[in-house]
Amino acid sequence: MIQVAIMGHGVVGSGVCSILTTHKKKLYSAIGEEVYIKRILDLREFPDSPLADRFTKEFNDILTDVEIRVVAEVMGGIHPAYEFTAQLLKSGKSVVTSNKELVATHGAELLAIAKENNANYLFEASVGGGIPILRPMNQCLVANNVHEVAGILNGTTNFILTKMIDDGMEFDDALKLAQELGFAERNPAADVEGHDACRKICILASLASGKHVYPKGIHTEGITNISLNDVKYASSFNSVIKLIGDVKFLENGKLDIFVAPMIVNRHSQLANIDNEFNGIMVRGDCTDDVVFYGKGAGSLPTASAVVADIIDCCKHLKARKYLFWADSNNENVLPYNESVTAVYLRFSTNDKEASIAEVKDLFGDIVQLSITNESENEFAVVTKAMTIGEINDKLNQVKKSKLLSNIRIADL
């Protein structure tokens, strides 16, 4: 019998309890031993839970219990999850988590503490919820030099964009619907402004490069400025708008990493990932594109990834897993100004002909897009590829029209 503890009894934590309880036979056959939930840490009371006798409000009940070998941290947030995790790892217990904020912010340090103490720190659930991604990247794709990882990493924003694309809903209405259906939080900032996706692409970039990439300073754009007209112009370009977390590993050793809405050709596998689903594309030099698709959030999908990590820890109580990356200070991150891309630009103007001529003059070869019922006072173009710095320089010189939208064209 292997004794475990769960810290947090919210959406994911209650899912972990549920799977450990209802899938006993399945788990036993995977490990060859029973997994026993000894303690559940939560400040709230759960008197009606069948596990009511296991609840505690005292972290020390877990930390000092030598019988507890593996702890699932599913509290979320940085504090006190960070302090608790560090202490548990120092005491030689393995910790598994779905806490992307903590991994993205303190992953290198916690991995180092785990290594020093011959414990495991695993976090498959932190990216892509129930979608297997970190372990496949670390194990199955290990013979590849990974050139790029790009993904739809946030289900809330993908749901909103899908409603805008498929049903012609405005952003605000789609957000409201997402909130009603439980796909968006009451305060949706972390999702719609791209911060959640940024944490996840940083974790993927850290794993692929072997060096921690911190979210701080990474260019992060959300979808709050996307309008229905942008969706329509994209459609005329045989494309859809998706919020993409992207990291390219350049030949000079730099990481071109950002989160931004992108115009994605309908032929891309990522274009077909709709609603609350996530999809992650890994481009390896041997495999070419490999894509992982599934539910990126939700109680049971996320909890099933947490439980898979618990099982892995139970199997490796003595041997450490090889998941590890070193610390860094983001010194390899390419300044966003140097990132190269074609862009879609939408302008308002009082003199369309003169404005288009000006844009053409500044940007050189452009493709003008057109939609039905196009306003006389609006136009949209797609430029050739150049650096963000050059694009911004040229945009500063635009006199005859006003920039409404500026969206990267994806090469995915």
Residues forming the active site: 200
Q: Based on CB atoms, which residue is closest to its own copies, 69 or 295? A: 295
- Residue from 73, 124, 191, 256 that binds its own copies (CB under 8 A)? 124
Q: Based on CB atoms, which residue is closest to its own copies, 24 or 399? A: 24
52 touching its own copies, by CB under 8 A: no
Q: Based on CB atoms, which residue is closest to its own copies, 252 or 373? A: 252
Distance in Å, CB of 246 to its own copies, minimum: 18
| Chain residues 266-305 in contact with its own copies, contact rule CB under 8 A | 269, 272, 284-295, 300-301, 303-305
Span from 27-35, 56-64, 106-114, 167-175 in contact with its own copies (CB under 8 A)? 27-35
Distance in Å, CB of 116 to its own copies, minimum: 17
- Residue from 308, 369, 382, 398 that binds its own copies (CB under 8 A)? 308
Residue 124 to residues 85, 294, 398: CA-CA distances in angstroms? 16, 14, 46
37 touching its own copies, by CB under 8 A: no
| Chain residues 310-349 in contact with its own copies, contact rule CB under 8 A | 311-312, 315, 319, 322
Q: Based on CB atoms, which residue is closest to its own copies, 9 or 195? A: 9
- The site map against its own copies for 188-227 (x = CB under 8 A) is ----------------------x-----------------
- Residue from 115, 117, 132, 400 that binds its own copies (CB under 8 A)? 132
232 is written with which tokens? 């329509």
Q: Based on CB atoms, which residue is closest to its own copies, 76 or 132? A: 132
Q: Which residues in 146-167 are b (16+ Cβ under 10 Å) and which e?
A: bbbbbbbbbbbbbbbbbbbbee
Beta strands in 269-398 (DSSP E): 277-284, 288-295, 340-341, 343-349, 366-369, 378-383, 386-387
Q: Residue written as tokens 């941290």? A: 73
| Length in residues, the chain | 412
219 is written with which tokens? 């260019």
126 is written with which tokens? 């932190």
Collect contacts of 266-272 with beta carbons under 8 A, ≥24 apart.
266/238, 266/239, 266/240, 267/238, 268/410, 268/412, 269/412, 270/150, 270/151, 270/152, 270/242, 270/244, 270/410, 270/412, 271/239, 271/240, 271/242
Distance in Å, CB of 145 to its own copies, minimum: 6
d(CA 34, CA 22): 12
Burial grade of 61 (CB within 10 A; 0-12, 13-18, 19 or more): middle
Which residues make up the interface to its own copies (CB under 8 A)? 15, 19, 23, 26-27, 29-30, 124, 130-132, 135-136, 139-145, 210, 269, 272, 284-295, 300-301, 303-305, 307-308, 311-312, 315, 319, 322
